[in-house]
Structure 1
Amino acid sequence: MTGSVPWQERLSAGTEAVQDDVISWYRNTREGRAYLPDMIWGTLQTEAYATVILGQVVEFLGTPNDVPAGVAKRMRRQQVLYDGEHHYDVVLGEQALYTNIGGPEVMRGQIERLIDEASLPSLRLGILSSTARVGLFPVHGFNIYGTGNDARAHVELVSSSMDVTEPGELALYEKAFALLRTAAVHGAGAETLLRKAHAHWSSAPARE
């Protein structure tokens, strides 16, 4: 089964209500996987980075502007990284480290957080180098929540978000994630790419 909900409908009451839904997903799902080719995973975003992202969403869709409340809830959802009960396997495309969200200061802070959090027991962080050979054609970002019969893939599109639960389709998302994770670097290799990105943003002009 695949279900799609338009963003303007889902955000009709603002960003805070959606973040409440996401908090519930994370608290009820002990294991998660995520692939984001060109932005930082929401559960690792800094407050400054999340403020820019949610502000852009509100402006683009014309939905109620409750960005500070939405950001506060996004920060609250990140508690799952520290409770000792959850584990997340996350692959970021190297482009995610360079997509300019909010300018050099915001990006420096965001990269610093990734460096600090990469060693958390709850997190396996991989970076897919821009030159990595992947046994898969380029694909959009997605999240996989849960395992077995409770698993689902969540995809965010321009106009809507979509949940995939049909077993055959879900198996393809799981296969895709396995290929992306295999091609990514972890540990010291990931830290090297993170520090390279940090050096870029440290030397970038303030208005970039």
Structure 2
Amino acid sequence: MTSSTPWQQRLSTGTEDIQDEVVRWYRETPYGKAYVPHMIWGTLQTEAYARVILRRVVEFLGVPDDVPAGVAKRMERQRVLYDGEHRYDVVIGEQGLYTNVGGGPVMREQMERLLRDIDLPSLGLGILPAAAEYDVVPMPGFNMREGRVDYELVSCGVDITDGEELALHHKAFDAVSAAAAYGDSAKDLIGKALAFWSKE
């Protein structure tokens, strides 16, 4: 089954409630996967980076402005990285290291955060090189948890629960994961991005 809900409806009370919902999902889901081609995965975002993202959401969609509360909830959700009870496999596109969110200082801090957390036991973080060849057509990012895939589109959030569709998403994630750089190779790509943003 596939369902979609417009963002104006999901964010009708602002960003805090939906971030609180995501906090609950993460607490209840011991293992998840995410493919994020053009930005930094929310659970690894710095406070400054998250503030810019949620500010853009509020202004673009014209929903109630509770950005500080939404950012606080996004930071709360990151506790799952440190509690020893969760595991996440995440592939970030190399482009995500260069998508300008807030300018040089914000991006430098964000790259430093990735380098700091890449070796967490709870995290399998891969960077998909911009020129990597992989065995699936280019696609938007998605988050996977038990029995569900979530997409964030321009106008709505899409949830997929059909078993055959979930299997295709696992296959797609395996393809990008197989082409991604991990460990020292991933650190090298993040380090290059850090050097780039340090010039800004």
Task: Please give the range of the TM-score, normalised by the shorter of the 2 chains.
Answer: over 0.9
* Number of equivalenced pairs: 200
Distance in 1 of aligned mates of 2:94 and 2:161: 29
- Other-structure match for 1:44: 44
Following superposition, the deviation at residue 137 of structure 1 comes to 1.1
- Other-structure match for 1:159: 155
Following superposition, the deviation at residue 82 of structure 1 comes to 0.4
Distance in 1 of aligned mates of 2:171 and 2:152: 19
1:59-138 matches, cutoff 5 A: 59-138=59-138
Distance in 2 of aligned mates of 1:123 and 1:184: 14
Structure 2: any 5+ residue segments left out of the alignment? Answer: none
* Aligned amino acid, residue 68 of structure 1: P
* Aligned amino acid, residue 52 of structure 1: V
Following superposition, the deviation at residue 131 of structure 1 comes to 0.9
Encode CA deviations 1:54-83: one digit per residue, 9 max, x unaligned: 000000000000000000000000000000
* Aligned amino acid, residue 152 of structure 2: E
TM-score by length of 2: 0.99
TM-score by length of 1: 0.95
Encode CA deviations 1:79-129: one digit per residue, 9 max, x unaligned: 000000000000000000000000000000000000000000000000000
Distance in 1 of aligned mates of 2:145 and 2:165: 14
Structure 1: any 5+ residue segments left out of the alignment? Answer: none
What is the root-mean-square deviation in Å for CA atoms of aligned residues?
Answer: 0.5
Q: Structure 1: which 4+ aligned runs deviate by more than 6 Å?
A: none
3-state SS of 1:101 partner: coil
- Other-structure match for 1:194: 190
